[in-house]
Amino acid sequence: MNKEDYIQHGLNDAEAEKLLEGLGREPTITEMGIYSVMWSEHCSYKSSRHWLKNLHTKGVHVIQGPGENAGVVDIGDGLAAVFKMESHNHPSFIEPYQGAATGVGGIMRDIFTMGARPIALLNSLRFGEVNHKKTKHLLSGAVSGIGGYGNCVGVPTVAGEVGFDKSYNGNILVNAMCVGIANINKIFYSAASGIDNPVVYVGAKTGRDGIHGATMASGEFDKDSEKNRPTVQVGDPFTEKLLLEACLELMKEDAIIAIQDMGAAGLTSSAVEMASKGNVGIELCLDELPKREENLSAYEMMLSESQERMLMVLKPNKKKLAEEIFLKWGVDFSVIGKITDTKKIKVIYRDKVEANIPISSLADDAPMYVRPIKNRKIDKNLTHQKTNIGLKEIILKILSSPNICSKRWVWEQYDRTIMANTINRPGGNAGVVRIEGTNKALSLSCDVTPRYCHANSYEGAKQAVAECWRNIVSTGAKPIAITNCLNFGNPEKPIIMGDFVSAIEGIKDASIALDFPVVSGNVSLYNETDGEAIKPTPTIGGLGIIEDVKIQSNHHTQRDGDIIILIGGDGKHLGRSIFREVIFNAEDGDAPTVNLDNELNNGNLILSLISDKKINSVHDISDGGLIITIAEMIISSNIGAKITLQNNLTNSNGDPEMLYEKMFGEDQSRYVITVSLDKVNDVIDQCTKSNVSANIIGDIQKNDLEIDGLVTISNNELIDSYESVLPDMMNIK
């Protein structure tokens, strides 16, 4: 084997050695390509596999945990929710529209491959600083790509988050999540079986796009990363819609033995995964492959990442029926091979054997590394402590900061109401979607706070799980399970690997304590450009169940005269807060700690208050702390609030003592609720009995936010600060 060849294919000396050992001879160029993608970080999880085993993946609702196309949970009524989140970071930085669009397409295929009709999309996006030269272009492209794909297929985008930070200047994150609903007895899996059964290719034709996409996604970027543009796939949502309908129609019949979508590493990885899971061999004849152009080589066909394609193993007697369904929908259908007993993948093209590799060598024997780890030093000190900026200006500055401001410019480009089941509005606690034909709804959220994870990866990851749980609780839903998308830098650097391992620990501890198991997920490493890594970003996507759609809660349904109660105690922690980021431009201190016992206790109390119909509105406290939480409630309801926190007590100089910790501290496990006057005593009693801190801090009234008689900000001023930022930035009037 030529060293230059295998280095170019992303293999190191030891891996080349292992390849020769597994194959027992020199590889052909096609075989080299197959090894290259199967052993890439993206497909083999070689740096992360060892640690992912530690995640908590079991629970009463779990039908299928990690390892399949998506996770599956039981939601009652004979139905299952199928969901997963996946990253499409590298391609989206190079070509934001197509990169983001195909990210959405890929995650939807993971869902309908399992027999579920997609009913909701979410996304978590991270961009560089707002004034960085690429940010506008990347934001605009990624958002229209997500909309362009999801809107066309006809699945509502119901929730998400958008953040900006300089660490993403050279490496944006596009994490897309999809949720589908399936009949619990009709879940489809990927393990192939039945010697001589036909292997069928359906979907779009194969072209040259996306070749080595998985390898690209397994390396760092540098100044020349633009040249990778041809490795970005091009999406065709119309074909996806046809493929979706055709697959779901065929799935009603008893025809499919195994099915797998062609995602990263295309035909190679889908064929190898199906054979590996079924412990069989697979033989492919590429002459039968639907092709977009002539003269594709076997190498190109095996590595192409052309979108909207699926591989299935069918019952032989159902081949004709299946073909008719796909032809009706105008989707290509071709028998391209069969299942064998050789436990090898054999690829034939123009009567020549292009590859013949033991499946175990590609899958089970893929490299795995336990890379060195170094723990990040946590500095708990805060630098600046005082500011001369007035309270009103502070509040408006925070509301208009990029990480807090309204994302209306983004979510108005996503169809949120298609399927006619979307219940709540964006900007709230979580997306809520009714389940057709039942009285139930799903509550969905995706969350992570990278500035916490950067300070303290363990606490940050724990917080991401807890915040997701809290958002779901705030809608009145019982949290059920999570998926994740672990975005980190180069794992060969011990400090990054240390962050990764701590994050896994944090996710594990939180998901055990909150009974919120991980059922699917994705790892995206090497998110670096010119050696600069992103902040650790372990995005958590959660799902909860609302048993009765009529009993759910919102953050904009407060009524004039309601009493405002702070649940979970006063704020004390300003480290890594939005307040310090915006006012001092400071990234300092430790992340707030989540006390998981309090989290569970406070959340369970909120759930019982909602189900007893004792509260009119609820919002969890997160970025920006108490005052920003209340401001968000005012903005979305246009009803003001009068707050008493005792900021007006004077200090030794006779000036009011500003209680920044109380107002903007980001202590965890807290909520703001509003309660009708006649129910206040009852609610306080219930809190006391449950050992949960509850403080009356004001009431709902008038058209402004008033704090301690020191500051009065009209609802309109709050709305203007919050709403005008993105339209101004994107030059929309």
* Catalytic positions: 42, 88
Buried b (16+ CB within 10 A) or exposed e, 184-216: eeebbbbbbebeebbbbbbbbbbbbbbbbbbbb
**575 CA to centre of own chain:** 25
Binding mask 320-359 for another protein (x = CB under 8 A): ---------xx-----------------------------
Binding mask 549-568 for another protein (x = CB under 8 A): xx------------------
Contacting range for another protein; rule: CB under 8 A; set: 203-211, 233-241, 604-612, 670-678: 233-241
CA angle 368, 373, 376 (to 5 degrees): 145
Distance CA 3, CA 18 (A): 14
Which residue, 54 or 724, has its beta carbon nearer to another protein?
724
Q: How far is the CB of 407 from another protein (least distance, A)?
A: 12
Q: Is 281 in the site for another protein (CB under 8 A)?
A: no
Nearest to 474 by CA among 539, 407, 429, 522: 429
For another protein, the closer of residues 477 and 482 by Cβ is 477
Q: Is residue 268 within the footprint of another protein (CB under 8 A)? A: no
C-beta pairs of 285-288 under 8 Å, 24+ apart in sequence: 285/336, 285/337, 285/348, 285/349, 286/336, 286/347, 286/348, 286/349, 286/354, 287/348, 287/349, 287/350, 288/201, 288/334, 288/335, 288/336, 288/337
Q: Does 182 bind another protein (CB under 8 A)?
A: no
As measured in angstroms, the least distance from the Cβ of 247 to another protein is 15
Among 295, 317, 420, 678, binds another protein (CB under 8 A): 420
Q: Which of residues 701-720 bind another protein (CB under 8 A)?
A: 719-720
Query: With CB under 8 A as the contact rule, which of the stretches 365-373, 390-398, 606-614, 721-729 interacts with another protein?
Result: 721-729
CB 668 within 8 Å of CB 447: no
Closest CB 416 distance from another protein, rounded Å: 5
* Candidate residues 50, 136, 186, 241; the one interacting with another protein per rule CB under 8 A: 241
Give residues 510-549 in contact with another protein (rule: CB under 8 A). Answer: 549
Q: What are phi and psi of 435, to 5 degrees?
A: -95, 115
Close Cβ partners of 516 (under 8 Å, ≥ 6 residues apart): 465, 468, 469, 479, 480, 481, 482, 510, 542
Q: Is 427 an interacting residue with respect to another protein (CB under 8 A)?
A: no
CA atoms within 13 A on the CB side of 714: 3
Site map for another protein, 139-178, x if CB under 8 A? -----x--xx--xxxx------------------------
d(CA 468, CA 446): 6
Residue 445, classed as helix, strand or coil, is: strand
DSSP code at position 618: E
CA distance 557 to 429: 12
Q: How far apart are CA 241 and CA 114, in angstroms?
A: 16
Does 477 contact another protein by CB under 8 A? no
Q: Which residue's CB is nearer to another protein, number 243 or number 510?
A: 243
Closest CB 323 distance from another protein, rounded Å? 17
Q: Which is nearer to another protein, 513 or 726 (CB)?
A: 726
**Total interface residues for another protein by CB under 8 A:** 40
Could you list the residues that contact another protein (CB under 8 A)? 144, 147-148, 151-154, 236-239, 241-242, 329-330, 406, 408, 411-423, 434, 436, 549-550, 719-720, 723-724, 727, 732
